[in-house]
Chain A
Amino acid sequence: MGLTRRRFLRGVATTAAGAVLGGAAGRARAAPAPIKIGLLLPYSNVYAVLGESITDGLSLVFEQAGGTVAGRRVELIKEDDEVNPQVGLRKAKKLIESDGVDFLVGPVSSGVLAAIRDTVHQARQILIVANAGNDEISRDRCSRYIFRASFSNWQPNAPMGSWVAAHVAKEAYLVAPKYAAGFDMMRAFKETFVAAGGKVVGEDYTPFPVNEDFAPFLTKINQAAPKAVYAFFSGSQAVRFVRQYDEFGLRARSRLCGAGFLTESDVLPAEGQSALGIITGHFYSTLLDNPANKAFVRAFRATYARTPDGFAVQGNDSAQVIVHALTATGGDTRDKARLLEALRGVEFDSPRGRFRFDPRTQNVIQPFVYVREVREVGGELANVVVDRIANVRDPGTGCTLPG
């Protein structure tokens, strides 16, 4: 209800721009129809920063390609899902039914992905998941129309379970927001942590999406005095959790570890010194030493004047997937079987390493999951890689895709 006016204005602007550009192109020559890409991302609320990073990473790829792919102009249509499953579903339907997008890209929240999955599948709409990591989408709710260029929630956390047990402590307290992603991530961590002889001494799930104050939970952690705390938070909640964790004096007593989002470059500057020493597992670090990453970081900094994060890489990779698949089909989006086949075969050098989908689940195989520690590098905080685990693929239990 609240965004009606804004949505209306945006709609008007998009239509007007489309009419003007379309008219100009029509006069010049009979140009092929544009490739329509619908972005279903949060541009407000707790994950607004993530939506922006993904959009920036993705736009950069198309800008560098001159705004066209395989001879067809690229048209981006943005919709704000507000991190709300109902809103997400409504906007997804709008993008699929009224805009008739060729590709849907998004969402950020696992809750939104769970809500739109059946609609996407039934509409045979190609969806490139740019963030949301619900394990179920690579397992019993997988779909041949859904490709995930980001991660499954299991991927960064399962390797961390055994790593924390081996290198940090054998007892840990778990905290995560109370929604699908929080449960998935903690489950994956526990799976390998307990198997490696670790003991979970406490477990809390915090209100989501609105929660400003972690004091009640931090007090409980303080009383439990565990050797390590394993947490998943992202966006503005990550900043608050890390800040308040330090504020309560827990940094000196319990080692804070977590999924990489806790200290990604989008939130790290705001966390400041409070983030020093936090250990996280993630498929990416800005410091990775490979040519694709160096070029990516340089271009991103030049365009947006800030350091890219894992989310920007996900945006970049989602766009690259589209570019490579379309190049393979010569720009053809009509023959869906051919396009799906092209998508399944996509392979390229991503900033995170060699990118390819797992044919069993159509979820990305993480070339590496990096164990990173927040340290000061040249006067700036950064996630320094201290260890890595190669070829991490989701178990994909229950997914019945051919392959």
Chain B
Amino acid sequence: MLLFLLSVGLTLIFGMLGVVNLAHGSFYALGAYAGIAVAVFTRSFWLALCLAPLVVAGVGAAIERSCLRPLYARGPNAQVLLTFGFIYVFDDLLRWLWGSHVRSISPPAALAGVVSLGPGRFPVYRLFVILFGLAVALLLWLALERTRLGAIVRAGVWDAEMTAGLGVNVARVFTAVFAAGAGLAALAGVVAVPIQAAYPGMGVEILVRTLIVVVIGGLGSLEGSLAGSLILGQAETFGKAWLSDSSMFIIYGVMAAVLLLRPTGLFGRALR
């Protein structure tokens, strides 16, 4: 579900803006650290969950406005280089602000403990993460499919020029989508902290798998992100438990298989 939250932001940004945002993992890390800061300061996990994504969305919007916008005309290479550069900027920034020590927060008391599910026992917090991810998926789907804004975003994904021609301020929508994507990554970051802790390099570690999810699911597709993250999560977990020698191979194997059978991903459509 973490992967879903991450990949859906990435895929939205790509689908709409045509930008492969390599700094997406950095938004995730930034969200995690911002979440810890808020949680430590206010002693509330829930406030962290609300505030940190907003902060990061703001950062995302600022980056889109100031740095990415001038580059749209120059094609994808410039954007990839720029966002790649941001990985290092954020990495050093986080290190400078918070040092290289591992940080963590506890899940809220209401979500601590374990429940018995069939034969196994399962941590409550992880159930929460799953439900939370599903809720976000549902909300996003409703927002995209059932609202006017969603219609504009979908139209923009199909054909930005045409949408602009219809009198929509595409530039502003671009910024909003980029900010939303960054916010989703940050949301994943905050949710991840009680399980995985925050540490330098966390953004880069997760980025590769996020990209794989997007490739499996198909670029620019919400359903694809959901399906892709579920497939990858299962493949990785079972791979670790049963064939731990080849768990990395399994992940890439799944991706290769999907690419061979459906080059555009499970839910992808042919690129323009």
Contact = CB atoms under 8 A, between A and B. Distances in A.
A44 B120 contact: no
B201 interface: yes
Contacts of B114: 247-249
Contact of B121 (A5, A249, A267, A269): A249
Nearest to A238: B102
B101 A216 contact: no
Interface string A251-291: 00000000000000011011111100000000000000000
Interface of A: 5-6, 43-46, 48-49, 51-52, 178, 204-207, 210-213, 215-217, 219-220, 222-223, 235-236, 239-240, 243-244, 247-249, 266-267, 269-274, 306
Given A6-B88, A273-B106, A217 B241 contact: yes
B241 A219 contact: yes
Contact of B195 (A43, A52, A247, A272): A247
B240 A270 contact: no
B230 to A, nearest CB: 15
Contacts of B196: 212-213, 240
27 contacts: A5-B88, A44-B201, A45-B200, A48-B100, A48-B200, A48-B201, A49-B100, A206-B240, A207-B247, A207-B248, A211-B240, A213-B196, A215-B237, A216-B237, A216-B238, A216-B241, A223-B119, A235-B102, A236-B202, A240-B195, A244-B123, A247-B126, A247-B195, A248-B114, A266-B102, A273-B106, A306-B101
Contacts of B104: 239, 243, 270-272
B169 interface: no
A183 to B, nearest CB: 13
A52 B201 CA distance: 14
A270 B201 contact: no
B197 A220 contact: no
Given A216-B237, A236-B199, A210 B101 contact: no
Given A223-B120, A248-B114, A216 B240 contact: yes
Contacts of A217: 240-241
Which interface class (under 10, 10 to 19, 20 to 34, 35 or more) fits B? 35 or more
Contact of B197 (A45, A222, A270): A270
Nearest to B92: A6
A267 B199 CA distance: 11
B120 A210 contact: no
Given A44-B91, A44-B200, A240-B195, 11 more contacts: A6-B88, A49-B100, A49-B101, A207-B248, A211-B240, A212-B192, A213-B196, A215-B237, A223-B120, A235-B199, A272-B106
Given A207-B248, A240-B196, A248-B114, A270 B103 contact: yes
B100 A212 contact: no
Nearest to B111: A247
A219 B120 contact: yes
Q: Which of B102, B200, B238 has the most CB of A within 10 A?
A: B102
Interface in B214-258: 237-238, 240-241, 244, 247-248
Task: Rank and list the top 4 A-B pairs by shortest CB-CB distance, nearest first.
Answer: A216-B241, A249-B114, A236-B199, A270-B104
Given A5-B88, A247-B126, A248-B121, A45 B201 contact: yes
